[in-house]
Structures are given as C-alpha cells and as structure tokens.
C-alpha cells in the first residue's frame, strides 16, 4: 500500500506542478489523491476533501461519474484516436450535432482543439484570418477587458489582463487594446449592477468607434471574470456589446470555457443576454471534467470565408495532434446526455440558493467586502476594511490561510488572492454545501483576524 508520504517524496523528485512556487512545498503539504467519487477526493491515508472548486472548474457531474466513465470505457474498445484531417468518426460528428443544437442560434460549425487556451488561440487566429480572407488587412488587433483571463499560451495570455500571470512575459506578447471591465465590485455606492455595467459600456463604445478598422474581435468572459477573482457583471453589457460589434463590423468572441455548461444558471452565459457570439470557446465542463477537449463554434459566414479552391490558400491550416479525440468526444456526449435527461439547471437553482443561504451570516462580517453570485459560482471578497473596499496586500497571502484551513478540515477551497469562492460539481448535496460553507466561514475569520 502506498502512503501519502511515499508518493509526495517521489513527486518532489520528478514533478514540476502548475501555477505553483515549488519552494512553498517545503512547508505546504502536497495532497496525493488516490480516488474520487462525487464531490469527494480521497488521499492515500484515507483523508477526504470536498472538491469545492471542481478541480479548476472542470468537473460538473462528480468525480468518477459512472455514466461518463462507462461511455469512455465503451469508446476505448472501439477507437482511441484517429487523425481528424481527412478522417472523421462518429463521436466527433455526434458531439458537433449536439453542440450546434445546444448553443445559441447561428453557431453552426465546430472546430476542435484539446484545451481551453488552444481554443482561444483558434478563435483569435480564425477571426484575424476571416478578415484577411475578406481583404481587410488592417484588422490585426483585439479588444479585451481589464482583469480578463483567457489562458496561458502566448496569444491567450496576451488578450488576458491578470498581471500576476501576464506581466513577466510582456516582451513576448501581442498588444491588445484594453478597455475597463464592467466588473460590478467596483461600482459606485448606490448604483446597481445593471446601471454600472451599462455606464462602463460607454468606454467600449468609444473604443470601437476609434479602433474598429484595425480590430478583428472583442474577446470577453461572459458574466464572470473567473481567474480575475470571480468578478461579475450584468448581462446588459453583453447585449450592448453584441449590438455594437455588429454596428462596427467587429467579431465577438465569447470565452465560455469556465462559465459554459450551466455554471451561471443557464446552459451558456450568453443566453442571459439573449445574444449569440461570432465565436464561442468551450472546454472544461465539456467532457464533464474527464478529459482534455475544447471546441470553437462559429457561424456559416465565417466558415464560408475560408471555403475556396486550395490554391487560393484561404484554408484554416491549424491543427493539434489530439484534435477531436474520440475518447474526449465520448465523455462530452455522455455529459450532454446527462443535461438532456435531467433537470440539472433546475436543481442547480435550488443548490445556488442553498449556497447563498449558507454564507448569509458573512454579509456583515467586517472583513467581507462583498458576496456575489451568478448561479453555481459564489464568491466572497475578503477586504482589509470595508470602507473604500481597501484590499489586503497580496504579500500577506490571506487566501492561503483559508486554503490550509480548508485542507485541515476536509474541504478543497483554493482562493484567488483574497477571493474565496465556491464552484462545486453539480452533484453536491445540501448537507455538503453546509460543510463547505462552514469551513469557508471559519477559514475567512481565521484569515482576516489580526
Ligand atoms: N479561458 C477561461 C475563461 C478560463 O477560465 C481558462 C482556464 N482557467 C482558460 C481560458 C484556459 O483553459 P486551459 O487551462 O484549459 O488552457
């Protein structure tokens, strides 16, 4: 029998972990996970952790979900992978049909990649190339929102705006045009989300007016800027943005990698604004959190702009080895079928209310600046002082205290700076929400004392 310690020792000799200062692990324990079931992860010594963050927001129907696991198992016996250039397979066709039917109207074509960042790269390149194929050679730039996040590969990093991840690589990056985010945490006292998001839109309108002729697309995370601290805004912003992009002849890229598949209360966040983007990027929940797969959906007119005789060299010559992997597609089909069969979104509404109720007592906490929520994402912003929403200096790593308290009490919370959030798998039960919230409340009090 392997023990936690044994695996951790072996790990430290050979593994370099993502998004980590490895030196922290001299004092911060690495948690080796042996198995998962539902919202629970179990280590080698029998310790259990409630996965309140869905393992980086990918898991939606529970770890080791039997229905998804069985579908992958069945597919494994048929075909593990095949090149998708010149060849096709049933899972990729079936999944594409399902995605076209489930996403907002007008999105009719699916281009597959294998992770979120790659999907963003595809959307950026496709948008640029679309305009090029139309002879619009001046369109080479992208508009992005402050505090946005679209991934870590160089193109995706460039159109994001989280300094912690981006600044180091500045010399390597494209230069997007950055416009103020509609983030409602920053709204003036007395104004509501709708007013604030609408007012902030004026800057976007001005920017489009000035830069439309050199801009390929505006890229946004609909409703929630997740990696930027679960900052949220009103759907009205998206409605205004869609209309303006049409008016100015600029594409709209909706990065629903984190918010798609029911996270914000609707199947896709764009639905809450009643809009359809020109490109929609999906990943994470796409496979229920089982396998890496991503897809960019786009419209007929985009597809048609690349469709010509080979010698025109208009084709989109972009590929990844594992594009449209059949196992990933099988997992995604099973995930879509679970949505199709059940009352997932309805049940999520009940769970979302339960999460809100479970942290209600924090509303008056002297170090809680805001509790905000869009569906199955609930975030609690810890502040040094509520007056003026004064932040705790990042060097104090207050969130880390919450993280450690969580682990010591069987809950995986992974705050983003000073923001503690819940983004659990949808199979969570009400008593598990109570546990998650209790541990978070204790952790916040501990982290903000002194
Ligand atoms: N876009 C958004 C909105 C994301 O939240 C993420 C991942 N956190 C990405 C893109 C990148 O996805 P991946 O980590 O799979 O490259």
Q: Across the 450 residues of the chain, what is the mean pLDDT of every consecutive 10-residue run?
A: 96 97 96 98 97 98 98 98 98 98 98 98 98 98 98 98 97 98 93 96 98 98 98 98 98 99 98 98 98 98 98 97 98 98 95 98 96 98 94 96 98 98 98 98 96
pLDDT, residue 228, reads 98
pLDDT, residue 15, reads 98
> Which ligand 1 atom sits closest to the C-alpha of 221?
3
SS3 label, residue 114: coil
**CB atoms closer than 10 angstroms to residue 353:** 11
Q: What is the pTM of this model?
A: 0.98
pLDDT, residue 105, reads 98
Nearest-CA residue for ligand 1 atom 14 is 116
> In the chain, how many H helices and how many E strands?
14, 16
Q: How far is the CA of 286 from the centre of ligand 1 (A)?
A: 12
Alpha helices in 52-115 (DSSP H): 54-57, 66-76, 90-102
Query: Ligand 1: which of 258, 264, 289 to mutate, judged by most atoms within 8 Å of the beta carbon?
Result: 258
Joined tokens for residue 326? 């059949």
Domains detected in the chain: 31-64+343-448 (3.90.1150.10), 69-341 (3.40.640.10)
> Which ligand 1 atom sits closest to the C-alpha of 56?
8
Nearest-angstrom CA–CA distance, 267 and 321: 29
pLDDT, residue 186, reads 87
Residues contacting residue 360 through CB under 8 Å, at least 6 positions apart: none
Cβ < 6 A, ligand 1 pocket: 115-117, 120, 149-151, 221, 226-227, 255, 257-258, 283
Terminal-to-terminal C-alpha distance of the chain = 43
> Which ligand 1 atom sits closest to the C-alpha of 115?
15
């Amino acid at each position: 029998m392997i023990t936690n310690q044994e695996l951790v020792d072996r790990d430290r000799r050979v593994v370099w972990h993502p998004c980590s200062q490895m030196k922290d692990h001299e004092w911060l324990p690495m948690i080796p996970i042996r198995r998962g079931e539902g919202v629970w992860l179990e280590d080698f010594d029998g310790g259990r952790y409630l996965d309140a963050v869905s393992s980086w927001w990918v898991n939606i129907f529970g770890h080791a979900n039997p229905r998804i696991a069985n579908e992958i198992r069945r597919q494994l016996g048929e075909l593990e992978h095949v090149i998708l250039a010149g060849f096709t397979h049933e899972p990729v066709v079936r999944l594409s049909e399902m995605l076209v039917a489930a996403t907002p109207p007008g999105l009719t074509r699916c281009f597959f990649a294998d992770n979120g960042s790659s999907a963003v790269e595809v959307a950026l390149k496709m948008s640029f190339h679309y305009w090029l194929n139309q002879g619009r050679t001046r369109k080479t730039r992208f508009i992005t929102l402050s505090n946005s996040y679209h991934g870590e590969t160089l193109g995706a990093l460039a159109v994001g705006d989280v300094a912690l991840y981006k600044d180091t690589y500045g010399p390597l990056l494209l230069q997007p045009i950055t416009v103020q985010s509609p983030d409602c945490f920053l709204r003036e006292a007395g104004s509501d989300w709708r007013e604030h998001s609408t007012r902030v839109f004026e800057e976007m309108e001005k920017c489009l007016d000035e830069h439309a002729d050199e801009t390929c697309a505006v890229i946004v995370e609909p409703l929630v800027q997740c990696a930027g601290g679960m900052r949220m805004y009103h759907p009205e912003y998206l409605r205004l943005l869609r209309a303006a992009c049409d008016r100015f002849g600029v594409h709209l890229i909706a990065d629903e990698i984190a918010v798609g598949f029911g996270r914000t209360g609707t199947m896709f966040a764009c639905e809450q604004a009643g809009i359809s983007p020109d490109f929609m990027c999906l990943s994470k929940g796409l496979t229920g959190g089982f396998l890496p797969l991503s897809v960019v959906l786009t419209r007929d007119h985009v597809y048609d702009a690349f469709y010509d005789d080979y010698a025109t060299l208009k084709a989109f010559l972009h590929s990844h080895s594992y594009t449209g992997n059949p196992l990933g597609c099988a997992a995604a089909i099973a995930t879509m079928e679970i949505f199709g069969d059940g009352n997932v979104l309805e049940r999520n509404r009940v769970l979302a209310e339960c999460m809100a109720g479970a942290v209600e007592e924090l509303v008056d906490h002297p170090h809680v600046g805001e509790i905000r929520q869009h569906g199955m994402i609930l975030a609690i912003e810890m502040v040094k002082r509520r007056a003026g929403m004064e932040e705790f200096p990042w060097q104090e790593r207050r969130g880390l205290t919450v993280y450690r308290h969580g682990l010591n009490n069987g809950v995986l919370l992974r705050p983003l700076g000073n923001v503690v959030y819940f983004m659990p798998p949808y199979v969570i039960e009400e008593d598990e929400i109570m546990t998650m919230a209790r541990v978070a409340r204790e952790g916040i009090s501990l982290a903000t004392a002194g």
